[in-house]
Structure 1
Amino acid sequence: MSLYVVISPTARADGIYPIRGYAGPSGRLDVVARAYLAVLESNAVLAALLMSGALSPRLLIAPASCRDRVRSERSFMVEASRALRGRPSCFIVEDGGVEALIFTLKKFKPRILLSERGRDVSLHLDEVCSSTPAFIAGSHVDPPRELLERLERSLGGFIRVSVGPLSLHTDHVFLLLSALRAHSSPT
């Protein structure tokens, strides 16, 4: 099982946004939705730290097992809104925010911070393709430096990995990593 983490400084944690035209009002939770849809692994979990709005920070947990209900960006937004507003959902919300993220990350190793300034992914294929990795990325903006420092202290460090010299969208990075994992897994 793998964990894909999106840290979103702008995504609203209250679930109150329109289902049409949601990108701006949701604080760009649509970026998290696309990241979820990009993960190819059937046993993966996406965890999103939502850091904006009155109820923030909160951790939204979206298991791949929800894929039968969540097949589009819009259906992700509907499911996330339900979970964040305390309604029945296949997603889970942890109100502990950063502490909930740390607790979740402790269950996965290695912990790989996806960074443009990291070492080339080809040098870390064993770690990327291990049985329980956690991949940590920002949304459309970088995570706050203070938060990354806190996570690094609490978790004993990260492996910093880059998927290339260009700045890529989070969903593209997650798609690439899950494809690498699928290609490298034993058949």
Structure 2
Amino acid sequence: MEDKDKDLKEKEQETGERNGKEQGKSRECSSKGSDGDTEAAGKGLDGEAAEGQTVQGQLEELKEKNEEYYNRLLRLQADFDNYRKRIAREKEEMYGYVAGEIILDFLGVLDNMERAALSAAGQDCDCGSASLREGIEMVVKQLREILSKYHVEEIPAEGEKFDPNFHHAVMQVKDTDKEEGTVLEVLQKGYMIKTRVLRPSIVKVAL
């Protein structure tokens, strides 16, 4: 009987020890699992932070490129505007030069028509000469209107102060009634197209 009780106690003790070991192992595994989860979670946060920094860096790089392209576009636009203005200016200058050459020849015709009008005005006033004079004056008027249409204007001269930029003196005459350098008479009219002198006025100037 005593032997049976002894065996029973030994078995109970072995069972208890075995259960204790199993519980210890279970706690150890649980602890290791918890530590693993914490470590994995930490690594996940670090990965997200690194990814966020990468995205932020890419955004900054894109922003810099965008500003660079925008500034380049502004420079190209400014260059194009300057090119367009230069072409327009050169075109206007070329037009003015060509038009000026043609108008110079045209002015010779106007000079002759004005002389003819003066000559007709000095003739006897009969029907023929009157009609001729009116016809010539009409042509002169039309010629002047055409010149005005193309911004060609006569240079003021008689009674003005002599200006070598606009006047060409071929005679100098003493005149006590006029201030020295005053234009006394216009021998040939001068003309300008806008701000450009087509031909200066040929004048007589007071000494």
Using the size of structure 1 for normalisation, the TM-score is: 0.23
Q: Which has a greater percent of helix?
A: 2
Structure with more of its chain in strand, by fraction? 1
TM-score, normalized by length of structure 2?
0.22
Greater relative contact order (Cα 8 A, min sep 6): structure 1 or 2? 1
